[in-house]
Chains A and B, each alone.
Chain A
């Protein structure tokens, strides 16, 4: 049995294997059910091909007996990801790239007699530079003339959320937190506008697909198919299907129309001197703390995420505006020099919570921390005045997610606070610099502070 080893709660579904941790090491056990597929892919160099092309996370097969786990015929070691993320947190283009990644792999390996045994969005992870499949055992041998077993999952994990985000509303990405195993296709069909359903790819892969699913379910429930006939599909037809899916996905685009994003420069309350002071302060603290993992909460355009990444940290850049995270994702992936930044969309008043089986399968934001350093710049007034979280609760939450904190205190006289309060009739939680300091000093020590000409103050808080 696993004793000093710690099993990952998110990898128990596949009987072919599971992930566990030994200290900092990430290991993948290959169970008896996974051995034939693993050996076939290894011996035919499929893994080497996909790893070389940057489509699959590398692994190393450990020598027999190096780590002993009951029920494991092979143990593979994989590099540790700086942070796991989930599709409800991803920018639109990250989900689209993850969809295309699955299809590129299928196009490469189907002619070699292999396929992806699943099309699970959680198997694609962005490490700040590359988006790759992390589940080695997803690659399996395709039984001849079999339709793709992952087709239904692909449509519900990728095509449906992408279509809804692009043709209905980007906010439908939040449905992931209810439907963690993929969007139901019948719901998707009902929510999509007619103009989307009339597109040939969406008509086939969503509308008709959903109809087939419903009819089959009805027949199964009524036991109308006692001796079903196996569905068959030639290799050529499967490749055509994958191409059709690829063309459909490639055409789905989301045009972000965020006033905050487009008018951001006009909204800024900073003069050049203050901006220089702020950047200097942040840089100095990053240099002092030398963090491996930085969380930039309320990152907006990602200005300070880029600054922290340039100093060598891995930065998780969180914002509630999907247009901001989309823009940052495109900047870092399509730009000339990739930075180690993971842009994630999240409403900080309702951050990612534990989900799935036993409430442990998918982790909360806090469980994926703590961060070595968190940046909370121009954020606190939004938490107190827009999200209505009292200052002591804000301080308590930060103490649970980070070791060091760089936080900007925005006084009540600030023009941005006045905008937030204009219709509030002075009804809000107590808010002052004194209360801010006493609340945070419950958990942190004030190590440094920097006053700015615009009345705001930057604090570096150290753990007590």
Chain B
């Protein structure tokens, strides 16, 4: 995630940012980094979902139900 963040940072730092209307100075750097982090956070969520899907797919391939472990846990408790 750091690497992704740094790459996006390097690309986006090339653009400037205009602060929104506010009584306190939000700081253009503070506004810009949020846009970058938005991409990082959304990308992280996407990667997380994809990882789960791939894991579940691979487990199915080897004939194991990915929910087996959870079910076992529930039975134990």
Knowing that A212-B29, A232-B35, A233-B34 touch, tell me 16 more A-B residue pairs with CB under 8 angstroms: A147-B26, A152-B26, A200-B2, A204-B5, A212-B30, A220-B28, A225-B28, A229-B17, A231-B31, A231-B34, A233-B35, A236-B42, A237-B37, A237-B42, A240-B38, A241-B38
C-alpha spacing A6/B22, complex, angstroms: 27
Q: How many residues of A are counted as interface, with CB atoms below 8 angstroms from the partner's CB atoms?
A: 47
Total contacts A to B, CB within 8 angstroms? 125
Residues of B within 8 A of A217 (CB): 29
Cross-interface CB contact of A150 among B16, B26, B33, B36, cutoff 8 Å: B26
Cross-interface CB contact of A208 among B9, B22, B23, B35, cutoff 8 Å: B9
Residues of B within 8 A of A236 (CB): 42
Contact, CB under 8 Å: B27 / A231: no
Majority SS at the chain B contact face? helix
Contact, CB under 8 Å: A118 / B29: no
A-B contact pairs, 9 of them (CB 8 A): A148-B26, A153-B26, A212-B30, A213-B29, A231-B18, A234-B38, A238-B38, A240-B41, A241-B41
Min distance, Cβ B47 to any Cβ of chain A, angstroms: 13
Residues of B within 8 A of A208 (CB): 5, 9, 33, 36
Min distance, Cβ B34 to any Cβ of chain A, angstroms: 4
Contact, CB under 8 Å: A231 / B22: no
C-alpha spacing A15/B23, complex, angstroms: 7
Cross-interface CB contact of A16 among B23, B27, B42, cutoff 8 Å: B23
Known: A204-B37, A219-B16, A228-B18. A155 touches B30 (CB 8 A): yes
Cross-interface CB contact of A241 among B1, B15, B34, cutoff 8 Å: B34
Size category of the B interface is 20 to 34
Residues of B within 8 A of A432 (CB): none
Contact, CB under 8 Å: B21 / A231: no
C-alpha spacing A228/B13, complex, angstroms: 12
Min distance, Cβ A107 to any Cβ of chain B, angstroms: 14
**Residues of A with Cβ closer than 8 Å to B?**
13-16, 33, 117-118, 143, 146-153, 155, 200, 203-204, 208-209, 211-217, 219-220, 224-225, 227-234, 236-238, 240-241, 244
Residues of B within 8 A of A213 (CB): 27, 29-30
Q: Tell me if B45 is interfacial: C-beta within 8 Å of chain A.
A: yes
Residues of B within 8 A of A231 (CB): 17-18, 28, 31-32, 34-35
Q: Tell me if B61 is interfacial: C-beta within 8 Å of chain A.
A: no
C-alpha spacing A152/B34, complex, angstroms: 10
Contact, CB under 8 Å: B35 / A240: no
Q: Which residue of A lies closest to B9 (CB)?
A: A208
Cross-interface CB contact of A151 among B15, B16, B30, B41, cutoff 8 Å: B30
Q: Which 8 A-B pairs have the closest CB atoms?
A: A152-B30, A225-B16, A237-B38, A216-B29, A228-B16, A213-B29, A147-B34, A212-B29
Contact, CB under 8 Å: A209 / B1: no
Q: Tell me if B66 is interfacial: C-beta within 8 Å of chain A.
A: no
C-alpha spacing A237/B33, complex, angstroms: 12
